[in-house]
Homo-oligomer: A and B are copies of this chain.
Amino acid sequence: MADLEDLTARMREFTEAREWGRFHDVKSLTLALTGEVGEVAELVQWLPADAVLEGDLQARFGDELADVLLYLVRLADVAGVNLVAAGLAKLQRNEDRFPISVYRSIAPEHP
């Protein structure tokens, strides 16, 4: 099974087994996503701009990215969004929106 569908199904089972579904409305889960992105930010905020993550810091960073991913798939599931389809569609739109010939090496405003 594809990664995201697998994670979505497992997060749903995890939630239902604990009867946590009543906590998982879109606003509460968006706040949870915000909290996890905040933890990602705290890990890198004082690093040099060209820092390369290694060792324990890289492991902790991966752990926080995992939290973001788990809430993201859960939020998509609750919102009735097909995250794989949405991601692929957005990537295609970005490829069309930022032609290589125009944007090569130019800082995008919102890539």
Q: A residues near B, CB below 8 A?
A: 2-5, 7, 10-11, 14, 17-20, 23, 25-42, 44-54, 58, 61-63, 65-70, 72, 75-76, 79-84, 86-91, 94-95, 98, 100, 103-111
Contact = CB atoms under 8 A, between A and B. Distances in A.
Given A18-B100, A40-B75, A67-B90, 19 more contacts: A2-B2, A4-B4, A7-B91, A17-B104, A18-B98, A19-B104, A19-B105, A20-B107, A27-B45, A29-B45, A30-B37, A31-B31, A33-B37, A34-B38, A38-B42, A53-B80, A62-B86, A63-B86, A65-B83
A50 B25 contact: yes
Chain copies in the assembled complex: 4
